[in-house]
């Protein structure tokens, strides 16, 4: 496999760490562009410091800078071949700053923007989540208008994250589980480690140039009830199932503050409307597990086994 110098924005974030791991595993010289440590505070600063120390020990080149620091961006971009953004939702439009610099560096072979969720160009959602999809589309159109070589990665649901969200949230998580809608709608659950590996491989693959990679492995298509039933069998317990009907979810979306309505709109899109499977794959679509059939991805059933042995030690935050 040809080695490329890979720069990752948002490298210390939730998905960014998996991207760094995948890049290192595949032997690519890896760079991380991160906000100066003194811009973080409290517990977040300590965790970030530990992550950066781990990166350095593993040979990652760290560059501290702001996205507004054009000179620093130019300096690091001239050292690398591939640019991957794993910036979080609140910073999606900040990628325009990266694009404005990347478009002037003609040697950049590929730019992969931060998406890693529903396919923005082929699905719709209720307004709070649609606003996020619209930001993704705005970034896509800016990349295309600038003539930057790209690959978009439609990763669907981050499986480890959502398993933890459904099965380990709340004081009574060992006794009950919340189900949105009927619980029968199918979604696509992909292990974060696999998403990162697919992304790094796609970044240097000529077949994915200026195309969208869709992560839809057959073994990872499952409903909430599929996941919960499988978990009950593995854990040897029966959970009390609390259903929130679709009309109640919509009511919450319409009445909650924006920061709380967005997660509900995402849950509605994925687990009630089934937006991740709202379109059929065409012959010219690039599906990750088919394109990289030599890579053994982790099935959702296997991930549940992993979670059973190593349950999360802390509750996770909201996904936006």
For residue 242, give the DSSP letter.
E
**Dihedral of the CA atoms 211, 216, 217, 219 (nearest 10)?**
180
Number of other CB atoms surrounding residue 103 within 10 Å: 16
Phi first, then psi, for residue 66 (nearest 5°) are: -90, 160
In sequence order, the β-bridge partners of residue 179 are: 243
Long-range contacts of 310-313 (CB under 8 A, 24+ apart): 311/168, 312/164, 312/168
Alpha helices in 113-257 (DSSP H): 127-146, 159-167, 192-203, 224-235, 246-255
The one catalytic residue among 56, 97, 136, 137: 136
How far apart (Å, rounded) are the C-alpha atoms in residues 297 and 197? 9
Q: Is 136 a catalytic residue?
A: yes
Active site residues: 136
């Amino acid at each position: 496999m040809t080695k490329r110098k890979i720069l990752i924005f948002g490298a210390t974030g939730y998905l960014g760490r998996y991207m760094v791991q995948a890049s290192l595993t595949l032997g690519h010289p890896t760079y991380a562009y991160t906000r100066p440590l003194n811009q973080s505070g409290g517990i977040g600063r300590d965790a970030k410091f530990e992550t950066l120390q781990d990166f350095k020990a593993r040979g990652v080149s760290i560059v501290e800078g702001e996205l507004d620091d054009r000179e620093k961006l130019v300096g690091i971009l001239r050292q690398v071949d591939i640019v991957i953004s794993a910036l979080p939702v609140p910073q999606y439009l900040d990628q325009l700053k990266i694009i404005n610099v990347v478009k002037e560096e003609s040697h950049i072979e590929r730019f992969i923007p931060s998406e890693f969720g529903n396919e923005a160009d082929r699905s719709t959602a209720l307004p709070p989540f649609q606003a996020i999809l619209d930001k993704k589309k705005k970034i896509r159109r800016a990349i295309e208008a600038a003539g930057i070589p790209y690959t978009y990665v439609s990763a669907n649901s981050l499986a480890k994250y959502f398993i933890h969200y459904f099965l380990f949230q709340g004081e009574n998580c060992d006794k009950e589980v919340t189900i949105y809608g009927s619980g029968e709608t199918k979604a696509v659950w992909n292990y974060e480690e696999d998403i990162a590996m697919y992304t790094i491989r796609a970044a240097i693959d000529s077949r994915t140039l200026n195309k969208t990679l869709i992560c839809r492995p057959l073994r990872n298509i499952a409903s909430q009830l599929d996941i919960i039933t499988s978990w009950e069998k593995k854990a040897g317990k029966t959970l009390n199932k609390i259903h929130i009907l679709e009309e109640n979810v919509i009511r919450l979306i319409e009445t909650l503050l924006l920061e709380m309505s967005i997660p509900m709109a995402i849950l509605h899109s994925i687990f009630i409307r089934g937006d991740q499977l709202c379109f059929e794959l065409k012959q010219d679509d690039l599906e990750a597990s088919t394109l990289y059939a030599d890579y053994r991805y982790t099935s959702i059933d296997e991930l549940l086994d992993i979670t059973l042995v190593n349950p999360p030690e802390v509750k996770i935050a909201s996904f936006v």
